[in-house]
Structure 1
Amino acid sequence: MFSLQNKKAVVTGGGSGIGRAIATLFAKQGAEVHILDLTLESAQEAVEDIKKTGGTVFSHACNVANQKEVVAAFEAIGNIHILINNAGIANVGKVDTTSESDFDRVMEVNVKGVYNCLYAAIPQFRLSKGGVILNMASIAAWVGIQDRFAYSTAKGAVMAMTLSVARDYIGENIRCNSISPARVHTPFVDGFISKNYAGKEAEMFEKLSQSQPIGRMGKPDEIATLALYLCSDEAGFITGSDYPIDGGFIKLNN
Protein backbone atom coordinates (compact mmCIF):
# COMPACT_ATOMS: atom_id res chain seq x y z
CA MET A 1 0.00 0.00 0.00
CA PHE A 2 0.92 3.66 -0.49
CA SER A 3 3.52 2.90 -3.14
CA LEU A 4 4.74 5.83 -5.23
CA GLN A 5 6.66 3.71 -7.71
CA ASN A 6 6.85 5.29 -11.18
CA LYS A 7 5.60 8.61 -9.78
CA LYS A 8 7.41 11.92 -10.14
CA ALA A 9 6.87 14.34 -7.25
CA VAL A 10 7.76 18.02 -6.80
CA VAL A 11 8.17 19.29 -3.24
CA THR A 12 8.63 23.04 -2.76
CA GLY A 13 10.62 24.02 0.30
CA GLY A 14 11.81 20.43 0.47
CA GLY A 15 15.21 21.22 1.90
CA SER A 16 14.12 21.38 5.53
CA GLY A 17 11.33 20.80 8.03
CA ILE A 18 8.03 19.39 6.81
CA GLY A 19 9.08 19.56 3.17
CA ARG A 20 12.20 17.55 3.84
CA ALA A 21 10.23 14.91 5.74
CA ILE A 22 7.80 14.62 2.83
CA ALA A 23 10.59 14.42 0.25
CA THR A 24 12.36 11.73 2.28
CA LEU A 25 9.26 9.58 2.76
CA PHE A 26 8.12 9.92 -0.84
CA ALA A 27 11.55 8.84 -2.08
CA LYS A 28 11.45 5.87 0.31
CA GLN A 29 8.10 4.87 -1.21
CA GLY A 30 9.60 4.86 -4.68
CA ALA A 31 8.91 8.33 -6.08
CA GLU A 32 11.38 10.31 -8.14
CA VAL A 33 11.53 13.45 -5.98
CA HIS A 34 12.33 16.95 -7.19
CA ILE A 35 13.02 19.49 -4.44
CA LEU A 36 12.47 23.15 -5.24
CA ASP A 37 14.28 25.39 -2.80
CA LEU A 38 15.59 28.94 -2.82
CA THR A 39 19.17 27.77 -3.38
CA LEU A 40 20.83 24.47 -4.21
CA GLU A 41 22.79 24.79 -0.96
CA SER A 42 19.61 24.92 1.13
CA ALA A 43 18.53 21.57 -0.29
CA GLN A 44 21.95 19.91 -0.39
CA GLU A 45 21.81 18.13 2.98
CA ALA A 46 18.34 16.71 2.27
CA VAL A 47 19.43 15.52 -1.16
CA GLU A 48 22.54 13.81 0.22
CA ASP A 49 20.58 12.04 2.96
CA ILE A 50 17.93 10.79 0.55
CA LYS A 51 20.56 9.50 -1.86
CA LYS A 52 22.30 7.65 0.98
CA THR A 53 19.14 5.61 1.52
CA GLY A 54 18.89 4.75 -2.16
CA GLY A 55 16.23 7.29 -3.07
CA THR A 56 16.03 9.14 -6.37
CA VAL A 57 16.13 12.89 -5.81
CA PHE A 58 17.03 16.07 -7.67
CA SER A 59 17.20 19.67 -6.49
CA HIS A 60 16.36 22.89 -8.31
CA ALA A 61 17.16 26.44 -7.23
CA CYS A 62 13.90 28.33 -7.56
CA ASN A 63 12.20 31.32 -5.96
CA VAL A 64 8.54 30.30 -5.95
CA ALA A 65 7.52 33.97 -5.98
CA ASN A 66 9.11 34.39 -9.43
CA GLN A 67 6.86 32.93 -12.11
CA LYS A 68 9.55 32.76 -14.79
CA GLU A 69 11.81 30.74 -12.51
CA VAL A 70 8.97 28.43 -11.52
CA VAL A 71 7.81 27.78 -15.08
CA ALA A 72 11.39 27.09 -16.17
CA ALA A 73 11.89 24.63 -13.31
CA PHE A 74 8.69 22.71 -14.05
CA GLU A 75 9.45 22.58 -17.78
CA ALA A 76 12.88 21.17 -16.97
CA ILE A 77 11.34 18.52 -14.70
CA GLY A 78 8.67 17.58 -17.25
CA ASN A 79 5.57 15.48 -16.68
CA ILE A 80 4.79 15.09 -12.99
CA HIS A 81 2.30 13.13 -10.91
CA ILE A 82 2.45 14.90 -7.53
CA LEU A 83 2.91 18.50 -6.42
CA ILE A 84 3.45 19.44 -2.77
CA ASN A 85 3.07 23.21 -2.26
CA ASN A 86 4.96 23.46 1.00
CA ALA A 87 7.25 26.52 0.72
CA GLY A 88 6.20 29.36 2.98
CA ILE A 89 7.25 32.04 5.45
CA ALA A 90 5.79 33.39 8.69
CA ASN A 91 5.19 36.84 10.11
CA VAL A 92 4.23 38.18 13.52
CA GLY A 93 1.82 41.08 13.78
CA LYS A 94 -1.75 42.33 14.01
CA VAL A 95 -3.24 44.29 11.13
CA ASP A 96 -2.08 47.66 12.53
CA THR A 97 1.42 46.37 13.33
CA THR A 98 1.99 44.61 10.00
CA SER A 99 3.90 46.82 7.60
CA GLU A 100 2.99 46.94 3.94
CA SER A 101 6.35 45.45 3.03
CA ASP A 102 5.88 42.52 5.44
CA PHE A 103 2.36 41.91 4.16
CA ASP A 104 3.55 41.96 0.55
CA ARG A 105 6.42 39.60 1.37
CA VAL A 106 4.10 37.01 2.93
CA MET A 107 1.65 37.25 0.03
CA GLU A 108 4.46 36.93 -2.53
CA VAL A 109 5.70 33.64 -1.08
CA ASN A 110 2.66 32.05 0.57
CA VAL A 111 -0.02 33.00 -1.96
CA LYS A 112 1.64 33.95 -5.25
CA GLY A 113 4.19 31.18 -4.75
CA VAL A 114 1.42 28.59 -4.56
CA TYR A 115 -0.34 30.13 -7.56
CA ASN A 116 2.91 30.11 -9.58
CA CYS A 117 3.50 26.43 -8.88
CA LEU A 118 -0.11 25.53 -9.70
CA TYR A 119 0.12 27.56 -12.90
CA ALA A 120 3.32 25.80 -13.97
CA ALA A 121 2.25 22.33 -12.85
CA ILE A 122 -1.08 21.97 -14.65
CA PRO A 123 0.47 21.55 -18.15
CA GLN A 124 2.83 18.90 -16.73
CA PHE A 125 -0.05 17.03 -15.07
CA ARG A 126 -1.81 16.94 -18.43
CA LEU A 127 1.20 15.15 -19.90
CA SER A 128 0.75 12.53 -17.18
CA LYS A 129 -3.04 12.32 -17.73
CA GLY A 130 -3.70 13.51 -14.17
CA GLY A 131 -2.11 13.70 -10.74
CA VAL A 132 -2.37 14.97 -7.20
CA ILE A 133 -1.81 18.40 -5.66
CA LEU A 134 -1.37 18.86 -1.92
CA ASN A 135 -1.23 22.39 -0.53
CA MET A 136 0.09 23.23 2.92
CA ALA A 137 -2.57 25.33 4.65
CA SER A 138 -2.71 25.84 8.44
CA ILE A 139 -4.98 25.89 11.45
CA ALA A 140 -4.62 29.67 11.01
CA ALA A 141 -7.05 29.32 8.11
CA TRP A 142 -9.62 27.79 10.49
CA VAL A 143 -9.35 29.77 13.72
CA GLY A 144 -8.06 33.12 14.89
CA ILE A 145 -4.38 32.99 15.87
CA GLN A 146 -3.08 35.96 17.85
CA ASP A 147 -0.58 38.23 16.05
CA ARG A 148 -0.67 36.27 12.79
CA PHE A 149 -2.73 38.57 10.54
CA ALA A 150 -0.73 38.28 7.29
CA TYR A 151 0.04 34.58 7.76
CA SER A 152 -3.60 33.73 8.49
CA THR A 153 -4.73 35.73 5.48
CA ALA A 154 -2.33 33.84 3.24
CA LYS A 155 -3.29 30.41 4.53
CA GLY A 156 -6.97 31.23 4.10
CA ALA A 157 -6.17 31.97 0.47
CA VAL A 158 -4.34 28.64 0.12
CA MET A 159 -7.41 26.79 1.39
CA ALA A 160 -9.64 28.66 -1.07
CA MET A 161 -7.25 27.91 -3.94
CA THR A 162 -7.42 24.24 -3.00
CA LEU A 163 -11.20 24.19 -3.46
CA SER A 164 -11.03 26.15 -6.71
CA VAL A 165 -8.41 23.92 -8.29
CA ALA A 166 -10.16 20.74 -7.12
CA ARG A 167 -13.36 21.89 -8.82
CA ASP A 168 -11.77 23.18 -12.03
CA TYR A 169 -9.65 20.11 -12.79
CA ILE A 170 -11.71 17.21 -11.45
CA GLY A 171 -12.59 16.32 -15.03
CA GLU A 172 -8.90 16.03 -15.92
CA ASN A 173 -8.13 13.44 -13.24
CA ILE A 174 -6.29 16.00 -11.08
CA ARG A 175 -7.06 15.82 -7.37
CA CYS A 176 -6.30 18.72 -5.02
CA ASN A 177 -6.39 18.70 -1.21
CA SER A 178 -4.72 20.56 1.62
CA ILE A 179 -3.31 19.84 5.06
CA SER A 180 -3.74 22.21 8.02
CA PRO A 181 -1.08 21.51 10.65
CA ALA A 182 -0.95 23.08 14.06
CA ARG A 183 2.52 23.91 15.33
CA VAL A 184 5.14 21.44 14.16
CA HIS A 185 8.62 21.29 15.67
CA THR A 186 11.06 22.13 12.89
CA PRO A 187 14.27 24.18 12.62
CA PHE A 188 12.01 26.91 11.21
CA VAL A 189 10.10 27.05 14.50
CA ASP A 190 13.32 27.17 16.53
CA GLY A 191 14.62 30.04 14.40
CA PHE A 192 11.29 31.84 14.60
CA ILE A 193 11.29 31.64 18.40
CA SER A 194 14.92 32.83 18.62
CA LYS A 195 14.23 35.78 16.35
CA ASN A 196 10.99 36.97 17.92
CA TYR A 197 11.37 35.91 21.57
CA ALA A 198 15.07 36.32 22.34
CA GLY A 199 15.88 35.41 25.93
CA LYS A 200 12.56 33.61 26.39
CA GLU A 201 13.12 30.70 24.04
CA ALA A 202 12.43 27.89 26.53
CA GLU A 203 9.37 29.63 27.93
CA MET A 204 7.92 30.29 24.49
CA PHE A 205 8.67 26.77 23.24
CA GLU A 206 6.74 25.32 26.18
CA LYS A 207 3.88 27.76 25.67
CA LEU A 208 3.60 26.91 21.98
CA SER A 209 3.82 23.19 22.75
CA GLN A 210 1.04 23.36 25.30
CA SER A 211 -1.25 25.34 22.98
CA GLN A 212 -2.11 21.98 21.39
CA PRO A 213 -4.48 20.07 23.69
CA ILE A 214 -2.41 16.93 23.10
CA GLY A 215 0.42 18.73 24.94
CA ARG A 216 3.15 18.87 22.30
CA MET A 217 4.00 20.09 18.84
CA GLY A 218 3.61 17.82 15.85
CA LYS A 219 6.51 16.03 14.20
CA PRO A 220 7.44 16.53 10.53
CA ASP A 221 7.22 12.77 9.97
CA GLU A 222 3.61 12.80 11.15
CA ILE A 223 2.70 15.41 8.55
CA ALA A 224 4.61 13.49 5.89
CA THR A 225 2.66 10.31 6.62
CA LEU A 226 -0.66 12.08 6.06
CA ALA A 227 0.74 13.64 2.88
CA LEU A 228 1.75 10.19 1.64
CA TYR A 229 -1.75 8.83 2.07
CA LEU A 230 -3.42 11.79 0.35
CA CYS A 231 -1.04 11.55 -2.61
CA SER A 232 -1.31 7.79 -2.99
CA ASP A 233 -3.68 5.86 -5.22
CA GLU A 234 -5.43 4.62 -2.08
CA ALA A 235 -6.81 8.17 -1.60
CA GLY A 236 -8.19 8.30 -5.13
CA PHE A 237 -11.71 9.18 -3.93
CA ILE A 238 -10.55 12.28 -2.03
CA THR A 239 -10.44 15.76 -3.53
CA GLY A 240 -11.42 19.28 -2.47
CA SER A 241 -10.81 18.57 1.22
CA ASP A 242 -8.67 20.03 3.98
CA TYR A 243 -7.22 17.80 6.68
CA PRO A 244 -6.37 19.36 10.05
CA ILE A 245 -3.52 17.58 11.81
CA ASP A 246 -3.42 19.62 14.96
CA GLY A 247 -3.32 17.69 18.21
CA GLY A 248 -6.91 18.74 18.88
CA PHE A 249 -6.24 22.47 18.44
CA ILE A 250 -9.31 23.38 16.37
CA LYS A 251 -11.96 21.27 18.08
CA LEU A 252 -10.70 20.93 21.65
CA ASN A 253 -9.42 24.39 22.54
CA ASN A 254 -11.91 26.48 24.52
Structure 2
Amino acid sequence: MRNIRLKVAYDGTNYHGFQRQIESAGPTVQGTLEGIWARLVDEKVTLAMAGRTDAGVHASGQVVNFVTEARIPEDKIPKAFNSLLPKDIRILHADAVPYEFNARRSATWKRYDYQIENHRISDVFKRLYSWHVPIPLDLSCMQMAAKSLEGRHNFKTFAAAGGDSKTFERTLYRCRIQEDQNLIRVSCVGNGFLYHMVRIIVGTLVDVGKGRISPEEIPNILASQDRKRAREIAPAHGLTLTYVSYSDESPFEVFSDL
Protein backbone atom coordinates (compact mmCIF):
# COMPACT_ATOMS: atom_id res chain seq x y z
CA MET A 1 0.00 0.00 0.00
CA ARG A 2 1.26 3.46 -0.91
CA ASN A 3 -0.08 6.90 0.00
CA ILE A 4 0.19 8.97 -3.18
CA ARG A 5 0.14 12.76 -3.21
CA LEU A 6 -0.81 14.66 -6.36
CA LYS A 7 -0.44 18.33 -7.22
CA VAL A 8 -3.38 19.25 -9.44
CA ALA A 9 -4.28 22.24 -11.63
CA TYR A 10 -7.75 22.75 -13.07
CA ASP A 11 -10.06 25.25 -14.67
CA GLY A 12 -13.19 24.98 -12.55
CA THR A 13 -15.54 26.51 -15.14
CA ASN A 14 -17.14 23.23 -16.21
CA TYR A 15 -17.22 21.54 -12.80
CA HIS A 16 -19.70 21.53 -9.95
CA GLY A 17 -16.89 22.08 -7.46
CA PHE A 18 -14.08 19.77 -6.45
CA GLN A 19 -15.83 17.42 -4.04
CA ARG A 20 -17.69 14.43 -5.46
CA GLN A 21 -21.48 14.77 -5.37
CA ILE A 22 -24.49 12.90 -6.68
CA GLU A 23 -24.18 12.34 -10.41
CA SER A 24 -27.21 14.49 -11.27
CA ALA A 25 -25.50 17.57 -9.75
CA GLY A 26 -22.93 17.58 -12.54
CA PRO A 27 -19.26 16.64 -12.98
CA THR A 28 -16.77 17.32 -10.19
CA VAL A 29 -12.98 17.34 -10.20
CA GLN A 30 -12.77 14.64 -7.51
CA GLY A 31 -15.21 12.39 -9.34
CA THR A 32 -13.29 12.85 -12.58
CA LEU A 33 -9.92 12.02 -10.99
CA GLU A 34 -11.26 8.96 -9.17
CA GLY A 35 -12.93 7.76 -12.36
CA ILE A 36 -9.72 8.08 -14.37
CA TRP A 37 -7.73 6.14 -11.75
CA ALA A 38 -10.32 3.36 -11.86
CA ARG A 39 -9.91 3.19 -15.64
CA LEU A 40 -6.12 3.12 -15.34
CA VAL A 41 -5.69 0.39 -12.72
CA ASP A 42 -9.19 -1.00 -12.07
CA GLU A 43 -9.10 0.22 -8.46
CA LYS A 44 -11.59 2.35 -6.57
CA VAL A 45 -10.00 5.03 -4.37
CA THR A 46 -11.23 8.03 -2.39
CA LEU A 47 -9.26 11.24 -2.65
CA ALA A 48 -8.59 13.58 0.26
CA MET A 49 -8.20 17.18 -0.86
CA ALA A 50 -6.46 20.26 0.57
CA GLY A 51 -9.37 22.55 -0.33
CA ARG A 52 -12.95 21.79 -1.31
CA THR A 53 -13.21 24.44 -3.97
CA ASP A 54 -16.70 25.50 -5.01
CA ALA A 55 -18.31 25.33 -8.45
CA GLY A 56 -16.41 27.60 -10.82
CA VAL A 57 -13.36 28.05 -8.58
CA HIS A 58 -9.98 27.25 -10.14
CA ALA A 59 -6.72 25.80 -8.82
CA SER A 60 -3.10 25.97 -9.87
CA GLY A 61 -1.82 24.23 -6.73
CA GLN A 62 -4.51 21.93 -5.35
CA VAL A 63 -3.14 18.92 -3.46
CA VAL A 64 -4.84 15.53 -3.03
CA ASN A 65 -3.80 12.15 -1.73
CA PHE A 66 -5.09 8.58 -1.88
CA VAL A 67 -4.02 5.11 -0.74
CA THR A 68 -3.44 2.57 -3.47
CA GLU A 69 -2.21 -0.96 -4.12
CA ALA A 70 -1.33 -0.13 -7.74
CA ARG A 71 2.33 -0.36 -8.71
CA ILE A 72 2.61 2.48 -11.23
CA PRO A 73 5.87 4.35 -10.39
CA GLU A 74 5.25 7.82 -9.00
CA ASP A 75 7.08 9.53 -11.85
CA LYS A 76 4.78 7.80 -14.37
CA ILE A 77 1.51 8.71 -12.65
CA PRO A 78 1.13 12.27 -14.05
CA LYS A 79 1.60 11.05 -17.64
CA ALA A 80 -0.84 8.20 -17.12
CA PHE A 81 -3.49 10.49 -15.63
CA ASN A 82 -3.02 13.27 -18.18
CA SER A 83 -3.37 10.88 -21.11
CA LEU A 84 -7.01 10.33 -20.12
CA LEU A 85 -8.00 13.52 -18.28
CA PRO A 86 -9.97 16.29 -19.99
CA LYS A 87 -7.84 19.25 -21.04
CA ASP A 88 -9.05 21.43 -18.16
CA ILE A 89 -7.48 19.19 -15.49
CA ARG A 90 -3.78 18.36 -15.22
CA ILE A 91 -1.66 16.40 -12.75
CA LEU A 92 1.52 18.43 -12.24
CA HIS A 93 3.40 16.14 -9.86
CA ALA A 94 3.08 12.89 -7.94
CA ASP A 95 5.05 11.46 -5.04
CA ALA A 96 4.73 8.89 -2.26
CA VAL A 97 4.19 10.30 1.24
CA PRO A 98 3.96 8.75 4.72
CA TYR A 99 0.76 6.84 5.39
CA GLU A 100 -0.40 9.40 7.99
CA PHE A 101 -0.25 12.28 5.48
CA ASN A 102 -3.62 13.87 4.71
CA ALA A 103 -3.88 16.62 2.11
CA ARG A 104 -6.25 18.69 4.25
CA ARG A 105 -5.23 17.99 7.85
CA SER A 106 -1.47 18.06 7.20
CA ALA A 107 -1.47 21.48 5.51
CA THR A 108 0.28 24.30 7.39
CA TRP A 109 -0.96 27.19 5.23
CA LYS A 110 -2.66 27.96 1.94
CA ARG A 111 -2.68 30.79 -0.56
CA TYR A 112 -5.74 31.91 -2.52
CA ASP A 113 -5.71 34.62 -5.19
CA TYR A 114 -8.78 36.51 -6.36
CA GLN A 115 -8.81 38.61 -9.53
CA ILE A 116 -11.00 41.65 -10.12
CA GLU A 117 -11.16 43.28 -13.54
CA ASN A 118 -11.71 46.96 -12.77
CA HIS A 119 -12.53 48.49 -16.13
CA ARG A 120 -15.63 50.01 -17.72
CA ILE A 121 -15.79 47.34 -20.44
CA SER A 122 -15.06 43.73 -19.60
CA ASP A 123 -12.32 41.81 -21.39
CA VAL A 124 -13.75 38.73 -23.09
CA PHE A 125 -10.50 36.84 -22.38
CA LYS A 126 -10.67 37.50 -18.63
CA ARG A 127 -14.35 36.79 -18.07
CA LEU A 128 -13.87 33.22 -16.79
CA TYR A 129 -11.10 34.08 -14.34
CA SER A 130 -11.97 37.48 -12.86
CA TRP A 131 -14.91 39.44 -11.44
CA HIS A 132 -15.76 42.38 -13.66
CA VAL A 133 -16.40 45.51 -11.56
CA PRO A 134 -16.99 48.50 -13.89
CA ILE A 135 -17.08 51.12 -11.10
CA PRO A 136 -13.63 52.62 -10.34
CA LEU A 137 -12.29 51.25 -7.04
CA ASP A 138 -10.20 53.14 -4.49
CA LEU A 139 -7.18 50.85 -4.21
CA SER A 140 -5.58 52.65 -1.26
CA CYS A 141 -8.76 52.31 0.83
CA MET A 142 -9.01 48.63 -0.06
CA GLN A 143 -5.39 48.08 0.95
CA MET A 144 -5.96 49.80 4.28
CA ALA A 145 -9.02 47.65 4.95
CA ALA A 146 -7.20 44.46 3.94
CA LYS A 147 -4.32 45.22 6.30
CA SER A 148 -6.69 45.36 9.27
CA LEU A 149 -7.80 41.77 8.58
CA GLU A 150 -4.31 40.34 9.00
CA GLY A 151 -3.44 38.43 12.16
CA ARG A 152 -5.30 35.89 14.29
CA HIS A 153 -9.00 36.70 14.62
CA ASN A 154 -12.42 35.16 14.96
CA PHE A 155 -13.57 35.32 11.31
CA LYS A 156 -17.20 34.34 11.93
CA THR A 157 -18.27 37.58 10.21
CA PHE A 158 -16.64 36.29 7.02
CA ALA A 159 -17.98 32.71 7.13
CA ALA A 160 -21.02 31.64 5.12
CA ALA A 161 -23.65 29.33 6.55
CA GLY A 162 -23.27 25.69 5.62
CA GLY A 163 -19.64 25.14 6.56
CA ASP A 164 -18.55 22.33 8.85
CA SER A 165 -15.95 24.23 10.92
CA LYS A 166 -16.31 23.92 14.69
CA THR A 167 -14.29 27.07 15.46
CA PHE A 168 -13.91 30.37 13.63
CA GLU A 169 -10.45 31.45 14.73
CA ARG A 170 -7.93 31.57 11.90
CA THR A 171 -4.63 33.32 11.24
CA LEU A 172 -4.51 35.42 8.10
CA TYR A 173 -0.80 35.96 7.52
CA ARG A 174 -1.33 38.30 4.62
CA CYS A 175 -4.20 39.99 2.81
CA ARG A 176 -2.48 41.90 0.04
CA ILE A 177 -3.94 43.89 -2.85
CA GLN A 178 -2.03 44.72 -6.02
CA GLU A 179 -3.06 46.18 -9.37
CA ASP A 180 -1.65 45.69 -12.84
CA GLN A 181 -3.36 47.17 -15.90
CA ASN A 182 -6.93 47.26 -14.53
CA LEU A 183 -6.56 43.81 -12.97
CA ILE A 184 -6.67 43.86 -9.17
CA ARG A 185 -5.41 40.80 -7.34
CA VAL A 186 -6.36 40.06 -3.73
CA SER A 187 -3.97 37.50 -2.21
CA CYS A 188 -4.98 35.77 1.03
CA VAL A 189 -2.50 33.56 2.87
CA GLY A 190 -3.61 31.81 6.05
CA ASN A 191 -3.40 28.67 8.16
CA GLY A 192 -6.98 27.79 7.23
CA PHE A 193 -10.08 29.27 5.64
CA LEU A 194 -13.76 29.10 6.50
CA TYR A 195 -16.57 28.38 4.06
CA HIS A 196 -16.59 31.18 1.42
CA MET A 197 -14.24 33.22 3.64
CA VAL A 198 -12.02 34.59 0.87
CA ARG A 199 -14.97 35.43 -1.38
CA ILE A 200 -16.75 37.28 1.46
CA ILE A 201 -13.56 39.19 2.27
CA VAL A 202 -13.23 40.18 -1.39
CA GLY A 203 -16.88 41.24 -1.62
CA THR A 204 -16.44 43.43 1.47
CA LEU A 205 -13.19 44.94 0.16
CA VAL A 206 -14.89 45.81 -3.13
CA ASP A 207 -17.55 47.70 -1.17
CA VAL A 208 -14.73 49.56 0.57
CA GLY A 209 -13.31 50.39 -2.85
CA LYS A 210 -16.71 51.70 -3.96
CA GLY A 211 -16.92 53.94 -0.88
CA ARG A 212 -19.85 52.06 0.67
CA ILE A 213 -17.75 51.03 3.70
CA SER A 214 -14.91 53.06 5.19
CA PRO A 215 -11.64 51.22 5.92
CA GLU A 216 -11.95 52.31 9.55
CA GLU A 217 -15.15 50.23 9.90
CA ILE A 218 -13.47 46.90 9.11
CA PRO A 219 -12.11 46.15 12.64
CA ASN A 220 -15.60 46.67 14.11
CA ILE A 221 -17.20 44.56 11.38
CA LEU A 222 -14.67 41.80 12.09
CA ALA A 223 -15.17 42.01 15.86
CA SER A 224 -18.97 41.90 15.55
CA GLN A 225 -18.91 38.21 14.49
CA ASP A 226 -22.10 39.02 12.59
CA ARG A 227 -22.27 37.71 9.01
CA LYS A 228 -24.78 40.43 8.13
CA ARG A 229 -22.14 43.09 8.71
CA ALA A 230 -19.99 41.78 5.84
CA ARG A 231 -21.17 42.21 2.27
CA GLU A 232 -21.90 40.03 -0.73
CA ILE A 233 -19.98 36.90 -1.65
CA ALA A 234 -17.75 37.62 -4.63
CA PRO A 235 -18.40 35.38 -7.67
CA ALA A 236 -16.61 32.03 -7.63
CA HIS A 237 -14.89 32.31 -11.01
CA GLY A 238 -12.42 34.97 -9.83
CA LEU A 239 -10.89 32.67 -7.19
CA THR A 240 -7.89 30.35 -7.55
CA LEU A 241 -6.30 28.04 -4.97
CA THR A 242 -2.67 28.83 -5.70
CA TYR A 243 -0.51 27.00 -3.18
CA VAL A 244 -0.66 24.60 -0.24
CA SER A 245 2.30 24.21 2.13
CA TYR A 246 3.14 21.13 4.21
CA SER A 247 6.32 22.32 5.91
CA ASP A 248 7.47 25.04 8.28
CA GLU A 249 8.45 27.25 5.36
CA SER A 250 7.30 30.84 5.64
CA PRO A 251 4.88 32.22 3.00
CA PHE A 252 7.24 35.15 2.64
CA GLU A 253 10.13 32.82 1.79
CA VAL A 254 8.07 31.16 -0.93
CA PHE A 255 6.45 34.29 -2.44
CA SER A 256 8.33 37.54 -3.03
CA ASP A 257 5.11 39.39 -3.91
CA LEU A 258 3.73 39.22 -0.37
Normalised by the size of structure 2, how large is the TM-score? 0.28
Q: Greater CA radius of gyration, 1 or 2?
A: 2
Tell which has more relative contact order, 1 or 2 (C-alpha 8 A, sep 6+). Answer: 2
